[in-house]
A and B are shown apart, each in its own frame.
Chain A
Amino acid sequence: MHFLQADRQLLIGLMLLALSLVLSGCGLLSTGSLLQMPGGPARAIVDNVPFFAQEELQCGPAALAMTLNWSGVTVQPSDLTPEVFTPDLHGSLQSALIGATRRHGRVAYPITGSETLLAEVSAGTPVIVLVNLGLSWYPKWHYAVVIGFDQEREEMIIHSGLNAYEHLSFRVFENIWQRGAYWGLLVLPPDRLPVRVGEEEWLEAVAGLERTGQWQEAATGYGASLQRWPNSFVSWMGLGNSRYRLYDLAGSAEAFQRAALLQPQNGMPFNNLAQVLKSQGKQKEALSAAQRAVALGGPLVGNFRQTLEEIESKER
């Protein structure tokens, strides 16, 4: 009897304490009004996002598998676990999801904010979101995939945990996503630009493919970027580098020449052009390109000199 009473008092005390904690952190209270997209559709749902129920602690691999399969890569969550899961952290880091996306030849494009999220989902792209299902001081980090929304009913539609097509009110979603710093990730085929895309962000995302040796996909990504921004110096440089790795020497030389036209005072395209010309056996042209690079100088002039020396040494 005594025990029960004490228990109840403790419970009431705890509830009061909890309530005061909640109310003191008033930044937590959100009305969900941030989730609006003026001029956008009232509702949207992305087709062809397969659902994978997650194993314990494996929301990272599950979320990534859903988006990768949507993008055309056939893969199971269990295949992704060794690539993204960190055992002692009991979870998967955001950077691991990014790296694994690249290893499967897809562009990892981070986004932030509700408006961008709704815009991308409206355009038919699923978005991985990092949410904190608990509280800032007692976090329960979780990855889910946003696949749709309904503005009239104020609901988000997500694949999450063990639930496919879970409907979550905007208000709750806003609260848990806010605690995840509004971080989202697009997993895109390299020829598909996000609707809200920045040139620099896209190029950095595509260059990430180079790091995992996905040269064909990188070349496709730079090609897509040039359709959007025909005068993008970095895109031509990236295209030149990717084609060189794919043994398309003529295409590579052309790309570096286009880059050189865009920034004639920059030694980098001439240095790389010299390397390509050397590989093509065009000794004379290689020499003049390397000399041009050295003459233009800049912080990488040391590299340019090495290139020149190497080409000269072949001459003797």
Chain B
Amino acid sequence: MIQKIIKPVSFLLLFSFLFLDVSVQPAKAQMIGTHTVIAAQKQEASRERVTAFLGRDDVQRALVQRGVDAAEAQQRVASLSDAEVTKISQAMDQLPAGGDGGLGTIIGAVVFIFVVLLITDLLGLTHFFPFVNHRR
């Protein structure tokens, strides 16, 4: 019973939140922020700003889905410019995340990759293994 209601209700909520956010955006009596000044100097369309604004929620949600604490995700997104947010919102999983990522799981693939990387390391094309000395 509850499960049946949850979906439409959450969609309704989601929608109303979207409207709430957007309707707050336009004309307010306030200082014109430096970001707007920069955007105006570059003659960027205000439409772009709205899409980036929607992108902020998406990015925040995506970060939470990937294990970042909700309050922290909000702060991270707030610290970025519109252009920077747009860049992440387009393809978070394709972006490089520096962390010396782990190995795959299939052993055959691991052996294969090990050999390839050992050779490329010896050729100086990669720097995968710390034990390969690359001081000339």
Give Cα distance in the complex from A239 to B75, angstroms: 24
Q: How many residues of B contact A (CB 8 A)?
A: 61
Give Cα distance in the complex from A186 to B112, angstroms: 37
Contacts of B116 in A (CB 8 A): 14, 18, 21-22, 135, 138
Q: A225 → chain B, closest Cβ, in Å? A: 11
Q: How many residues of A contact B (CB 8 A)?
A: 90
A38, CB-defined interface residue at 8 Å:
no
Nearest 8 A/B pairs, CB to CB = A91-B99, A91-B97, A87-B67, A99-B79, A302-B27, A306-B29, A88-B66, A18-B116
Please report whether the interface of chain A is mostly helix, strand, loop or mixed according to DSSP: helix
Within 115-143 of A, Cβ neighbours of B (below 8 Å) are at: 130-135, 138-143
Q: A263 → chain B, closest Cβ, in Å? A: 9
Additional A-B contact list (15), CB under 8 Å, known A100-B76, A139-B101? A18-B119, A22-B116, A87-B68, A91-B101, A95-B87, A99-B75, A99-B79, A102-B79, A135-B116, A135-B125, A176-B127, A203-B38, A208-B81, A237-B37, A268-B32
Give Cα distance in the complex from A218 to B124, angstroms: 43
A283, CB-defined interface residue at 8 Å:
no
Number of A-B contacts (CB under 8 A): 229
Q: A255 → chain B, closest Cβ, in Å? A: 11
Give Cα distance in the complex from A14 to B126, angstroms: 18
Give Cα distance in the complex from A86 to B93, angstroms: 11
A37, CB-defined interface residue at 8 Å:
no
Q: Per a CB cutoff under 8 Å, which of B32, B84, B120 touches A272? A: B32
* Interface-lining segment among A44-52, A56-64, A71-79: A56-64
Give Cα distance in the complex from A272 to B36, angstroms: 12
